[in-house]
């Protein structure tokens, strides 16, 4: 609480809302840096086993660790196209998706306008953070 948090933030939802507010107030450049720090889905870090334990578990639950070679190739092509167009990696809170659903979402979003996709990527970052906070708060109870 020394850093300005109150009892209102002492829950997954409250802390998530506070984090969203900080990101929204940060401005474009810090937001872009946040997006750029995100790993590619089914990308090199995943293949090399260098994701965080949370990302590894989320991607594994979505079946991304069991992609057929043609699916990995599709992810690789989409990751390259997406990053070239938007300047940051494709971000999706994958919980509740399977490989086909993720690819479908990826293929749809790569055609978005830059400002629309920037906003959507931030929404996905917030969703990932909220889901992880909920898991942490649940684990602690």
Task: Please tell me which residue in 17, 38, 95, 126 is annotated as part of the active site.
Answer: 38
Tens of pLDDT, residue by residue over 83-138, are 999 999 999 998 888 888 989 999 999 999 999 999 999 999 999 999 888 887 88
Neighbours of 30 (CB within 10 A): 12
Tell me 50's DSSP state.
-
pLDDT tier for residue 62 given thresholds of 50, 70 and 90: low
Active site residue 38: yes
Cβ-contact 109, 120 below 8 angstroms: yes
Tell me 83's DSSP state.
H
Cβ-contact 43, 89 below 8 angstroms: yes
Give the C-alpha distances (Å, rounded to integers) separating 38 from 46, 74, 127, 141.
12, 19, 13, 29
Domains recognised in the chain with CATH numbers: 7-139 (1.10.3330.10)
């Amino acid at each position: 609480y020394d850093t300005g948090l109150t009892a209102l933030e002492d829950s997954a939802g409250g802390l998530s809302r506070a984090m969203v507010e900080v990101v929204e107030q940060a401005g474009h450049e810090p937001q872009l840096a946040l997006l750029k720090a995100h790993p590619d889905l089914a990308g090199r870090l995943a293949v090399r086993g260098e994701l965080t334990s949370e990302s590894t578990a989320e991607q594994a639950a979505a079946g991304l660790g069991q992609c057929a070679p043609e699916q990995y190739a599709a992810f690789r092509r989409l990751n390259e196209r997406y990053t070239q167009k938007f300047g940051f990696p494709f971000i999706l809170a994958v919980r509740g998706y399977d490989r086909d659903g993720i690819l479908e979402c990826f293929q749809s979003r790569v055609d978005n306008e830059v400002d629309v996709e920037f906003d959507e990527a931030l929404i996905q970052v917030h969703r990932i953070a909220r889901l992880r906070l909920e898991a942490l708060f649940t684990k602690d109870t």
